[in-house]
Amino acid sequence: MNTYLKAAVDGSLQGIRETPRLYFAPVTTLLAWMYQVTESVRLKHHHAQSSHDDLPMASHQS
């Protein structure tokens, strides 16, 4: 098992040295997508809260 792990690490390091842009492209794409989704959800939540705060309070009569 140690041989396979060493081969995987060596192959990854070789890939990083040879083509850093191609090696990290999937990671940067994933991070950019995660950022966009997070911002979208955050803005929707903020918009829903701010529109909820603008509603007049109903008076409760006992």
Domain ranges, ordered by start, for the chain: 2-45
Residue 59: is its pLDDT beyond 70? no
**What angle in degrees, to the nearest 10, is found between the helix axes of 2-18 and 20-53?**
90
For a pLDDT cut of 70, what percent of the chain falls above it? Answer: 79
* pLDDT band at residue 50 under the 50/70/90 scheme: confident
- pLDDT band at 39; cut points 50, 70, 90: very high
Top-confidence residue, 36 or 24: 36
